[in-house]
């Protein structure tokens, strides 16, 4: 019997499959069994740094420019152009950078993993690994997760700096309603190290989900070259939705009850 | 030796400029094919339009709601609550949801969901040499494959932007209600501050986003090479290039729109 319930059921089915696969991979990392392939993990971390770092930072740079321009004109519109720092501090650190990080990771790293593992799957290389006595989930998925956990926090923190720099350019140099010192005073007042940790937590949860979703769709790809392309497209749908949901829940948990703003008592 | 090193160091830049140039050429060819008769692409256009709509509507509504609820909703409501002026949230949503978040979420979802599907589709056809076969049959791939996708994506990205704005403002209402504020003030400041220039700016920007995404994704799909792995790689590159191009275009467009429309810079 086919009814309208089949579509949501299909969604929930595949989410459950992804969760099962993901917890298996995370379990392999936590139990330390991934460390038999520690060299491969380091290689994956290296690939992330060499292949994705510049693109992540370029994207975050553009996001910082956007936040800066919108913040500068918004604060001009309320008649307080010297307070552009509030908008860019919030837009960069608290919200924008995790989202930009999630977008570009799902575009670059997530689909990259699907393409790579999917090509291995349909040319039967994964079965060959199993025949050789190497556990494919550990060797292919768990090493990538560990590699991401090794490399991505540093890329994220450098990205925060890149976005600060570009917001400064947009607010102070491009729009120019506020002096450099006035902008930076407000900008640094409206953030502290806890905000950086919250932002990093959001970004890393997104990154973990993106890597696991990518590994799942690549590992289960089927149906020839078309199948790899379709799996890549499907992984992007799941990643986009998950990035936004993680971002919203993060804001709700970290700032929902306490805006953490240095205003009033 | 030195010359070789310089050539190798500049190779990424050379590839980049070559690709950008080829995308420009594809855009020009597409625009020329749109106006030059005959017009055989009507059916494919409707098919692509419905295909993109079917893929994008659900991720788009969830994503816009989530992003607008978290970023401008809760963060701004937190600060405005400290000042005791929660009714100003509506005015703030004109700045964020209409001008900024509606377009970026629409672009991210269309590029990530429909753009990847287009690249995967065209890439698979390229790998199976169907595109060459079409050309042998006398069917122009640009006119019959790229033009309908280009037009369909332009139209639907612009239209989805309106839905993104609606769901973004719904999220703003939810954030306002979460802080226990009646919605009258929210709507009052929203409608006083919303100008028609904001709306057309947002929709026009999204229409152009659709064009950028279609050209990038069609180009990457039609130049895919290297077997199954090649299709996946093409999808990967297409979505990265589309994201970077769209966000950079957003920056240029916002800067020009805000600087050249002083009436957008006053709050009412």
Residue B23 covered by a domain: no
Residue B17 covered by a domain: no
Report, as ranges of residue numbers, the positions in chain A whose pLDDT lies below 50: none
Across the interface, whether the CB atoms of A229 and B70 are under 8 A apart is answered no
A35, A5, A55: which is closest to A162 by C-alpha? A55
pLDDT digits (tens, 9 = 90+) for B42-57: 888 898 899 889 888 8
Cα–Cα distance measured from residue B70 to residue A103, given in angstroms and rounded to the nearest whole number: 16
Q: Does A169 touch chain B (CB under 8 A)?
A: no
Across the interface, whether the CB atoms of B243 and A59 are under 8 A apart is answered yes
Pick from A77, A125, A210 the residue to mutate for testing the B interface (most B CBs within 10 Å): A77
Smallest CA–CA separation between B143 and chain A, in Å?
A: 23
Residue B10 covered by a domain: no
pLDDT at A2: 62
Across the interface, whether the CB atoms of A240 and B228 are under 8 A apart is answered no
pLDDT over 90 at B91, yes or no: no
Over residues B220-225, mean pLDDT: 90
Of B63, B78, B117, the CB nearest to A261: B78
Across the interface, whether the CB atoms of B108 and A240 are under 8 A apart is answered yes
How many Cβ atoms sit within 10 Å of the Cβ of residue A81?
19
Residue B135 covered by a domain: yes
Residue B183 covered by a domain: yes
Residue B11 covered by a domain: no
Pick from B90, B91, B247 the residue to mutate for testing the A interface (most A CBs within 10 Å): B247
In chain B, pLDDT over 70 holds for what percent of residues? 99
The ipTM, to two decimals, is 0.90
Residue B51 covered by a domain: no
Q: Which residue has the tokens 């930009």?
A: A100
Sign of the alpha-carbon torsion through A94, A96, A102, A105: negative
pLDDT digits (tens, 9 = 90+) for B9-43: 888 888 888 989 999 999 999 999 888 888 888 88
* Residue B74: domain span: 56-265
Residue B44 covered by a domain: no
Q: What is the number of domains present in chain B?
A: 1
pLDDT over 90 at B80, yes or no: no
């Amino acid at each position: 019997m086919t009814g309208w319930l089949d579509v949501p059921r299909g969604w929930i089915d595949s989410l459950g499959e992804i969760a099962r696969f993901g917890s298996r991979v995370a379990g392999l990392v936590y139990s330390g069994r991934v460390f038999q392939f520690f060299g491969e993990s380091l290689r994956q971390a290296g690939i992330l740094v060499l292949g994705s770092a510049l693109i992540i930072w370029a994207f975050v740079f553009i996001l910082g420019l956007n936040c800066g321009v919108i913040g500068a004109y918004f604060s001009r519109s309320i008649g307080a152009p010297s307070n552009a720092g509030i908008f860019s501090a919030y837009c960069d650190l608290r919200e924008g950078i995790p989202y930009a990080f999630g977008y570009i990771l799902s575009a670059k790293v997530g689909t990259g993993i699907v393409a790579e593992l999917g090509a291995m799957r349909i040319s039967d290389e994964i079965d060959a690994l199993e025949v050789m006595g190497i556990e494919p989930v550990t060797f292919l998925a768990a090493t990538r997760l560990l590699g991401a956990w090794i490399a991505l926090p540093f890329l994220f923190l450098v990205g925060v700096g890149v976005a600060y720099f570009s917001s400064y350019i947009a607010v102070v140099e491009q729009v120019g309603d506020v002096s450099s010192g006035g902008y930076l005073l407000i900008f640094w007042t409206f953030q502290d190290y806890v905000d950086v940790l919250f932002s990093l937590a959001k970004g890393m949860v997104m990154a973990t989900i993106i890597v696991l979703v990518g590994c799942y769709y690549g590992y289960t790809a089927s149906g020839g070259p078309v199948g790899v392309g379709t799996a890549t497209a499907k992984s992007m749908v799941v990643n986009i939705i998950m990035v936004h949901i993680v971002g919203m829940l993060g804001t709700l948990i970290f700032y929902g009850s306490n805006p953490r703003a240095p205003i009033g008592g | 030796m030195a010359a070789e090193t310089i050539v190798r160091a500049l190779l990424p830049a050379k590839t980049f400029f070559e690709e950008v140039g080829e995308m420009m050429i594809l855009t020009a060819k597409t625009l020329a094919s749109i106006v030059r008769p005959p017009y055989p692409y009507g059916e494919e256009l409707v098919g692509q339009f419905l295909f993109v709509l079917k893929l994008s509507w659900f991720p788009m509504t969830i994503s816009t709601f989530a992003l607008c609820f978290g970023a401008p909703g809760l963060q701004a409501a937190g600060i405005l609550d400290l000042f005791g002026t929660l009714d100003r949230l509506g005015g703030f949503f004109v700045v964020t949801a209409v001008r900024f978040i509606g377009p970026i979420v629409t672009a991210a979802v269309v590029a990530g969901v429909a753009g990847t599907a287009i690249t995967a589709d065209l890439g698979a056809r390229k790998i199976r040499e169907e595109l060459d076969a079409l050309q042998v049959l006398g069917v122009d791939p640009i006119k019959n494959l790229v033009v309908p996708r280009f037009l369909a994506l332009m139209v639907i990205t612009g239209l989805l932007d309106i839905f993104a704005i609606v769901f973004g403002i719904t999220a703003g209402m939810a954030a306002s209600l979460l802080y226990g504020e009646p919605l009258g003030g929210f709507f009052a400041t929203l409608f006083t501050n919303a100008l028609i220039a904001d709306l057309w700016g947002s929709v026009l920007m999204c229409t152009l986003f659709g064009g950028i995404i279609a050209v990038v994704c069609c180009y990457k799909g039609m130049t895919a090479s290297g077997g199954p792995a090649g299709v996946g790689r093409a999808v990967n590159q297409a979505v990265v290039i589309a994201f970077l191009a769209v966000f950079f275009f957003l920056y240029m467009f916002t800067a020009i729109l805000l600087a050249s429309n002083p009436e957008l810079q006053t709050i009412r």
